[in-house]
Amino acid sequence: AQKITQTQPGMFVQEKEAVTLDCTYDTSDQSYGLFWYKQPSSGEMIFLIYQGSYDEQNATEGRYSLNFQKARKSANLVISASQLGDSAMYFCAMRESMNSGYSTLTFGKGTMLLVSP
């Protein structure tokens, strides 16, 4: 079973509108971390936001917020007031706590976001 599922291959949004990118995850661990990365056309992977499994409040970083619903195992990324520069590939990822230490990042397939004027 996939550990990270991103069901939206592509999303379109108009500039200045908000958009939600979906991410669900699968883990039996109690301690884990959830991440969102952005990959623009230039290729680099840019860290956006992190949510720990024990964090009670949803993470926020500027225009980015993470809608964390632990019971549903979802960690959706919300981008408010979209900008043209937000057009990129967005990856959801998870790091789990294991008996032997911590896992490396497991990624979803990504969602391509296109922001139009």
Partner 1 sequence: EAGVTQFPSHSVIEKGQTVTLRCDPISGHDNLYWYRRVMGKEIKFLLHFVKESKQDESGMPNNRFLAERTGGTYSTLKVQPAELEDSGVYFCASSQDSGTGLKAFFGQGTRLTVV
- Write out the two tokens for 86: 């937000």
Which one of residues 41, 42, 57, 99 is an interface residue with partner 1 (CB under 8 A)? 42
Which one of residues 8, 20, 64, 105 is an interface residue with partner 1 (CB under 8 A)? 105
Which one of residues 23, 96, 113, 115 is an interface residue with partner 1 (CB under 8 A)? 96
56-85 binders of partner 1 (CB under 8 A):
none
Cα dist from 98 to 27, 49, 73, 90, 95, whole Å: 11, 22, 18, 26, 9
The answer for 43, left when phi > 0, alpha when psi is -120 to 50, beta otherwise, is left
Residue 32 touches partner 1, criterion: CB under 8 A = yes
Residue 23 touches partner 1, criterion: CB under 8 A = no
